[in-house]
Amino acid sequence: MNDAAFLICAALTTAAAALCVTRKNPIYGAFYLLGFFLGLAGLFVLLAAPFVAAVQVIVYVGAILVLFLFVIMLLDYAGLGGEAGRSFAGTLPAALLAFLLLAGLGAAVYRNAGGDTRPPAPLTDASFGSTRTVAKHLYIEYPLALELVTLLLMAALVGAVVLTRRPGPERGSATPDKGQEEATHGSGGGST
């Protein structure tokens, strides 16, 4: 039962990830990323982490993936012309590097735990990974880290707004950013 679930989720995540990074069109990539996240959530449930699996679906699929699709739609994709084709030989160094990384990580796992062919020990505590357990631990043991993460998210929010703000005279800023105006040469300004 667990073996079958593991195999299905592993195959789904691996196939979806491989397809995602090789697509030309980012929209297809985003949809394969959806399959990857869902398969990963299944693996999280299998690893006795139902709360984390739920957060994974809510945050990654509900927020990050939607943000990706939103940005893809926001950019006028027809005018981009896609990615110029890169030959297989062009990606060979990248494939080699990734394979070396995999070999190193795999060797590390094999050397330290290769002989362990038993399924994970049964849970000693049935509430392990439940919302109550994780939340208690989060709020009692790591309140400072939690506050810092909220600060980080706030900073990211403000940073995203600042980065996407259109520099324009109608903004009435006291110090017009000349370098940025020159950089947008011949682009038609804010007509789109």
CA distance 151 to 141: 18
Choose, by CB under 8 A, the member of 114, 143, 168, 176 that binds another protein.
Answer: 114
119-148 residues in contact with another protein (CB under 8 A) are 119-121, 123-125, 128-129, 133-134, 137-138, 141-142, 145
**Nearest CA among 8, 68, 18 for reference residue 40:** 8
CB 52 within 8 A of CB 44: yes
Minimum CB separation from another protein for residue 109, in Å? 5
Concatenating the DSSP letter of every residue in 168-191 gives -GGG--SS--HHHHHHTTTS-GGG
Minimum CB separation from another protein for residue 172, in Å? 20
Contact track, another protein, 15-54, x by CB under 8 A: --xx-xxxxx-x--xx--x--xx--x--xx-xxxx-xx--
Identify the helix (H) or strand (E) that includes residue 26. helix 26-46
Contact track, another protein, 150-179, x by CB under 8 A: --xx-xxx-xxx-xx-x-------------
Binding of another protein by 13 (CB under 8 A): yes
Minimum CB separation from another protein for residue 175, in Å? 19
CB 65 within 8 A of CB 147: no
52-111 residues in contact with another protein (CB under 8 A) are 52, 55-56, 59-60, 63-64, 67-68, 71-72, 74-75, 79-84, 86, 90-91, 93-95, 97-99, 101-102, 105-106, 109-110
Choose, by CB under 8 A, the member of 144, 170, 178, 187 that binds another protein.
Answer: 187
Concatenating the DSSP letter of every residue in 91-147 gives HHHHHHHHHHHHHHHHHHHHHHHTT--SPPPPPSSTTTT-HHHHHHHHHHH-HHHHH
The total of other beta-carbon atoms located within 10 Å of residue 9's CB is 19
Nearer to another protein, 97 or 174 (CB): 97
